Chains A and B, each alone.
Chain A
Amino acid sequence: MRYSGFRVIREALTGHKGWGHAWRDATPQASYDYIIVGGGGHGLATAYYLAKEFRQSRIAVVEKGWIGGGNVGRNTTIIRSNYLLDGNEPFYEFSLKLWEGLEQDFNYNAMVSQRGIINLFHTDAQRDAYTRRGNAMIMHGADAELLNRDQVRALYPFLNFDNARFPIKGALAQRRGGTVRHDAVAWGYARGASDRGVDIIQNCEVTGIRRENGRVTGIDTTRGFIGAKKVGVAVAGNSSTVMAKADMRLPIESHVLQAFVSEGLKPVIDGVMTYGAGHFYVSQSDKGGLVFGGDIDGYNSYAQRGNMPVVEDVAEGGMSLMPMIGRARLLRSWGGIMDMSMDGSPIIDKTDIDGLYFNGGWCYGGFKATPASGWCFAHLLATDRPHPTATAYRFDRFRKGLMIDEKGQGAQPNLH
């Protein structure tokens, strides 16, 4: 079924009885050409582009819970392409371009909202760093603008401009950045993939990865063995535990990141704002809640919840930037598990096992990458060659000293 304005009016007049399911909840077949493990944004996007752009047949997505129940439904929904390094910027700009055409492409309202993002700076050195970053972005075809203090004040007059430690001196802006309705991304990709024949199999946990003579033959699951020629793993926070089933160790640690939502308020912040000095970032949801977050908890965790010290730290950061936030009540908070890689950048690569492919290490920045990650992983699965924008995301970059370390922290996942 295609969604359209005409369809909405027709359904409104006929009691909304004609809306069907958005996608088929499939049962596993004996075997597939391609199995994607993980029904998050990246897994579903991979299946969608595999079916649509690379016209591959017999594809399944296997998800242990329900699709969209992982990080794709837990993040703070920010999209942007304000990266500095050569290995990253073309990839994230490719992703932003895909976001811009996504809703028309998959005929689903994902509420892509290019409301703009600003990164505040507080010192001359930070201004220089952001000037450099902005220039790198422009050289790769993205948009970037440097705002002075008065321009930031015109945007958000309520900020604490005269904070003694971190006075606001200006900001790097990317007007094309913004937010997207995260659940709708999973649903839209699932629907688009399902319509093109992809089997979406929920409540089916992968418990083993079977191999013969160095080749993948299929996966063991809680719903039995499923044969496959190629298996692509995209399981975000569970990367290490799933790849361990193929006896692989990864340059990854799992850490928890928390997010927070306030009670609904009148419109106050129309874009996205980051405050690096105070480890705080914020936007306002369409329902009015302030959506914000800060640092990861900083030690290995598979518990999908955080701890109080970071709640306090994030609240302090918020208070120091926008003191009026102290009058808003906090409605809820939650945590998601992220696979923090050793240099803070992702991995999209073949493994040493024939037919086994890996997509992960997205840290806390993988939501914005969803379309490009899906596209590039589909490209790799279909052609066995990396997509031009993802050539740097290989396993061997650590061995070769070709890390993509945006933050310059070295091999310390909890600092990225």
Chain B
Amino acid sequence: MIINHPLLGPRDAQEFTYLGDAALIDRPDGMAYPTPDAAQDAFHDYLYQRANPAGEHRELWYHEQGDRSWLVVTRNTVTHEITAVDLARDVARAQGRSK
């Protein structure tokens, strides 16, 4: 698979390591829940539960043997076709995060 790095251009997927669902960017704020149980539920879902779709999937790839950036790659898990690659930093900022 070739990942079209937004800064570096097309790179072989072998240069990257894989983390999983891009939803992992949205780490819950443990202090923002009314009860400890609610916070625990949120963290349980965040850490362990996955949508795991057959089809389009947004996922995190780390350019370990390159510029060490994190990317959000939109890839079809049935065909392996990659339709979008963004810097994870840009995705997080677009969601209102500072970094």
Residues of A within 8 A of B (CB): 238, 240-241, 244, 249-254, 298-303, 307, 309, 342, 398-399, 411-414
Contact = CB atoms under 8 A, between A and B. Distances in A.
Given A302-B77, A303-B78, A303-B79, A251 B18 contact: no
B80 A303 contact: yes
A398 B50 contact: no
Contact of A302 (B40, B45, B54): B54
Interface in B35-68: 40, 44-45, 47-54, 57, 59
Interface in B68-88: 75, 77-80
A299 B59 contact: yes
Question: Which residue among B18, B50, B75, B79 has the maximum number of chain A CB atoms within 10 Å of its CB?
Answer: B50
Interface of B: 1, 13-14, 18, 20-21, 40, 44-45, 47-54, 57, 59, 75, 77-80
Contacts of A299: 18, 59, 75
B54 A251 contact: no
Given A301-B77, A411-B47, A252 B52 contact: yes
A240 B44 CA distance: 17
Instruction: Report whether over half of chain B's contact residues are helix, strand or loop; otherwise say mixed.
Output: mixed
Contacts of B45: 249
Nearest to B49: A249
Contacts of A414: 18, 20
B50 A240 contact: yes
Given A241-B52, A253-B21, 13 more contacts: A238-B54, A240-B53, A249-B51, A250-B49, A252-B50, A254-B54, A298-B18, A300-B21, A300-B52, A300-B59, A302-B54, A307-B80, A399-B40
Contacts of A411: 47-48
Contacts of B49: 249-251
Nearest to A254: B52
Contacts of B18: 298-299, 414
